[in-house]
Amino acid sequence: MELNVKQIMEILPHRYPMLLVDRILDLAPMKSAVGIKCVTYNEPFFQGHFPGKPVMPGVLICEAMA
């Protein structure tokens, strides 16, 4: 089962900037999911982490996988 961001928002309570999934490619309810987050240079966390050398904070990587 595939889901777009509109369908994802019907399921998850998270909203920008903490909605860390843009699309679900495969969903097995109560078992597993495979999703995509399109990370761009314009993400708000890149402004200070780290200026000139942007790195996605590890805690957000973990949150995106949760």
Active site residues: 49
Query: Is the backbone of residue 56 left (phi > 0), alpha (psi -120 to 50) or beta?
Result: beta
What are the φ and ψ backbone dihedral angles of 46, each rounded to 5 degrees? -75, -20
CA distance 43 to 15: 14
